[in-house]
Amino acid sequence: MRLASLGSGSRGNATLVQHRDTTLLVDNGFSLRKFSHRLQRFNMQPGDIDAVLLTHEHSDHSGGIARLCSSHQIPLWTAVGTARAVLPTEFQYQTLIADQPVSIGDIEIMPVTVPHDANEPLQFIFREIDNGKRLGILTDTGHITSHIIKAFGGLNGLLLEFNYDPKMLESGPYPAKLKQRVGGNHGHLSNLQSLELLQKIDTSELSCLIAAHISENNNNPSIVADLISQLQDVPAPVLANQDEGFDWITL
């Protein structure tokens, strides 16, 4: 299994997950034009995507979903609460339910409930149906629950949110209300919260780690890299960025 990103952060997210003949897209916060343009970097076209999974309704994840799926007839999978929040009423989609795995082609997807200020937010764990290697994606999460610790242990690959540095958020440009939202229990993971997750889960099989959804205002990639380098037995992270995302990484 391998993954790549077309961009990661509060101005738009889109992540490709591919195994054998199956290509999935997680979220699309980009206009169709921008999305198609960014996809060319991978020598791909929208029609190469077998299915789209939508984590939640915030526009940095959902902004380009309906247009992409309808203009290229790509099946969309999401939770009922997310669909109600963001899709036109007549829009056809496949339902995802937390803790109920679904298989699409060569990949099994396990939706995991996370605490975030959205209707029915889900994050995902992908499993190769033939070989069993597993990849987790965890962003847009306000705090670490025991359910998350259980679900995200023993993975081969992990894309994990390192949203903000608490001191930078505190002294940064956001209005007080937004600071409270981001730093709150249903906002985003701080560097320290994500570091703590890495200390609590089994990382013995982890061969690739991607630090993602790094705030451009309230964080600094070098702080994230420094913090992770203090952990033993965790691979040096790839740092996803807003404009470039990252190139294919194979588990």
Chain residues in the site for Zn ion (CB under 5 A)? 58, 60, 140
Partner residues linked to 214 by β-bridges:
none
Output 86 or 238, the one with its CB closest to Zn ion: 86
- Within 10 angstroms of residue 99's Cβ, the number of other Cβ atoms is 11
What stretches of 34-144 adopt beta strand conformation (E)?
A: 51-53, 76-78, 94-95, 102-104, 107-113, 122-128, 134-138
Output 60 or 165, the one with its CB closest to Zn ion: 60
Smallest distance from the beta carbon of 160 to Zn ion, in angstroms?
13
Smallest distance from the beta carbon of 190 to Zn ion, in angstroms?
14
Provide the token pair at 27: 């979220």
Output 58 or 143, the one with its CB closest to Zn ion: 58
Smallest distance from the beta carbon of 53 to Zn ion, in angstroms?
14
Instruction: Give the full edge-to-edge strand order of the sheet including 51-53.
Output: 94-95, 76-78, 51-53, 22-26, 14-19, 2-7, 246-250
Output 115 or 206, the one with its CB closest to Zn ion: 115
Output 34 or 72, the one with its CB closest to Zn ion: 34
Smallest distance from the beta carbon of 153 to Zn ion, in angstroms?
24
Q: What is the DSSP letter of 52?
A: E
Looking at beta carbons, which residue is closest to Zn ion?
58
Smallest distance from the beta carbon of 123 to Zn ion, in angstroms?
11
Phi and psi dihedrals of 140, rounded to 5?
50, 55
* Residue 92 burial (C-beta neighbours within 10 Å; 0-12, 13-18, 19+): exposed
Provide the token pair at 136: 């987790």
Smallest distance from the beta carbon of 120 to Zn ion, in angstroms?
12
What is the β-pairing status of strands 2-7 and 14-19?
antiparallel
Smallest distance from the beta carbon of 58 to Zn ion, in angstroms?
4
Output 22 or 162, the one with its CB closest to Zn ion: 162
Q: How far apart (Å, rounded) are the C-alpha atoms in residues 107 and 130?
A: 9
Output 60 or 106, the one with its CB closest to Zn ion: 60
